[in-house]
Amino acid sequence: MLRPVICGVTWFRLVGSTLAALGILGWGMVWAGDPPGEWKVGTARVAITPEGPVWMAGYAARNRPAQGKQHELWVKGLAIESPHGKRVLLVTLDLCGVSRDLTEPLREEIAQTTGVGFDEVILACSHTHSGPVVGTNLITMYPLGEADRKAVEDYTRDLTRRIIQVSRQAVEALEPCQISWGIGEASFAVNRRENPERDVPTLRAQGQLKGPVDHAVPTLRVDRGSGGLAAVVMGYACHCTTLDGYEWSGDYAGFAQLELERRHPGTIALFFAGCGGDQNPLPRRSRALAEDYGRQLADAVDRTLQGPLTRLGPEDRLATAATTVRLDFAKVPDRAHWEELASSTNRFEAARARALLDRLDREGRLETSYPYPIAAWRLGGLTWVFLGGEVVVDYALRLKKERGSDSVWVAAYCQDVMAYIPSRRVLLEGGYEGVGAMVYYGLPSPWAETVEETIFQGIEQVWNRLDR
């Protein structure tokens, strides 16, 4: 019984390919009639831990470059090919953030190198605060000297080369696999706007922690066709800010990846950050805690791996869509404002003002809005949304409420990390995520009050295209 089916598939593909090669049929027509094949997955990784002295990203209080490491930082690639031949690529980065001036050309180059579409390449940062400064990301935060800047530039150049290498290798490694998915839970993320850090142990013990959280642990399981766990992808909505020292580390997400790879030899573990813009791992500030949160995350993943899981079948489709929406700034002050602030005694205000004056000199104007990236993949019954920036938890909760919490995953810090992305509620409340952090990202003002609705309109557009 088996042989005729295999022969049939081979024959059909051969004829279809030949007709397509002759230009008689388009690929769509060939595939439309072709019995579906198999899902394929390819993975690759390379260490990106800086070798020389490079400044670390994420905290304004550090005053010197890193010294030593707790473990390697990684770029990891996961390519997926559907039974209909459509490909996507997820690249996870143990980095705090990357900017659009780096990632747009980088995604172009990955697309050219791999053949995966520009919109289908997702760059996802873990937001570890124990990774290096990259390119111009958060650059007004750090008092870098000339040699420090050069070290960041050299590192960034080498990093892009490694990201392209991993992307190419992941696609080259595509092999038949089984893909399944489920959602677990871990509870160490705390709403940092609502709970004073020192009170968290007591509040947790009393069940009195306040504010919205998203404790879901979306988990993708990849098994080789020949048997054995090939890869696991996990997400969690929480800042990687357990640690604030001078040693390189992926923070809890780095420890979770290590733990899963230790428990499942031969497996590659990848992490993506969810909408944890206003979430911290609390309490924090020790390696023991970072390891413990890593273990908690790995435990959540392992429980989910045991099932039940939803498995993608040969009839399931992979659909993708992406868009860019313009997020307006509340206001863009004129040159006189920035000239005055350039001599501010607040070094962050002064650095932002100088950066914006430079741009005014170069480009003659300041943008009044930002091109915000939104993408989504539909894998059978799962919709995986990818948002740029430090998105607060309200977005994931609203999206899951409107679209279904058991079939929607939301990744943030994707494509580029341009700023915090507050909900309307958080924006109006103010504070660091709503207003204060914009200075570190070198942006002229808080977002306009339309920020949340503009992003949800973009998600709606993307969703409608997935539904087609």
Residues that bind Zn ion (CB under 5 A): 390
CB of 204 to Zn ion, least distance (A): 22
Minimum distance, C-beta of residue 392 to Zn ion, in the bound complex (Å):
10
| Dihedral angle of Cα 352, 358, 360, 363, to the nearest 10 degrees | -130
81 versus 251: smaller Cβ distance to Zn ion: 251
Residue closer to Zn ion, measured from CB, 94 or 390:
390
CB of 390 to Zn ion, least distance (A): 5
Q: Say how many CA atoms lie within 13 Å of 102 toward its Cβ.
A: 26
Residue that is written with structure tokens 């004129």 in the block:
334
3-state secondary structure (DSSP) of residue 385: strand
> Is 98:416 a contact under the CB 8 Å cutoff?
yes
Q: Minimum distance between the CB of residue 364 and Zn ion, rounded to whole angstroms?
A: 32
Phi and psi of 420, rounded to 5°?
Answer: -70, 150
Q: Distance between CA atoms of 295 and 316, rounded to whole angstroms?
A: 33
Structure tokens at 440: 């570190």
CB-nearest residue to Zn ion: 390
Residue number, 251 or 316, with CB nearest to Zn ion? 251
Judged by beta carbon, residue 83 or residue 434, the one nearer Zn ion is 434
- Residue 340 burial by Cβ neighbours in a 10 Å radius (0-12, 13-18, 19+): exposed
CB of 417 to Zn ion, least distance (A): 8
Helix (H) / strand (E) element for 270: namely strand 268-273
Which of 30/275 has CB closer to Zn ion?
Answer: 275
> 238 with 213: CB under 8 angstroms?
no
Least Cβ distance, residue 127 to Zn ion (angstroms) = 6
CB of 216 to Zn ion, least distance (A): 19
**Which of 164/437 has CB closer to Zn ion?**
437
123, with CB counted inside 10 A (0-12, 13-18, 19+), is buried
Which is closer to Zn ion, CB of 12 or CB of 432?
432
Q: CB within 8 A of 227, min separation 6: which ones?
A: none
Helix (H, G, I), strand (E, B) or coil at 216: strand
